[in-house]
Amino acid sequence: MELKTRVHDVLTNLKPAETRGMRAQESTETFQGSDTTAPNCVQRGIGRPEAALAVRQERFTGTETYLVIYPHSGDDTLVDVYVVAADCVVTSPGTPGKVLVNETVSRS
């Protein structure tokens, strides 16, 4: 499945704060029904301090990974997507995870 399709599926299945009349980026609430915290090694691999919109563990091109979605700075119609190898969680939690993909895609 294409990365953009995966991201769209994750975001479509979430109930964001903006459905209550608030922009998600301005809200301190997270998406309902989502995990928004990646393991520490995955977060260190990405290197972004802000909270993710969504985090999902899944297979990507035959590798166990974390799909991590962040708001795109300056444009609410876009999101920044990271696919990070999950092996750091078990084999070396102190080492930053390897970012396999980093793309900016449309929210819709």
pLDDT in tens, 5-31: 889 888 888 755 443 333 433 333 334
Judge whether residue 33 has pLDDT over 50. Answer: no
How much of the chain is helix, strand and coil, in % rounded to 5?
A: 25, 30, 40
Give the chain's mean pLDDT. Answer: 82
**pLDDT surpasses 80 at 1:** no
- Provide the terminal-to-terminal Cα distance of the chain, rounded to the nearest Å: 16
pLDDT at 35: 64
For residue 12, the model assigns a pLDDT of 85
> Residues 23-41: what's their mean pLDDT?
56
Residue range 59-77, pLDDT digits in tens:
999 999 999 999 999 999 9
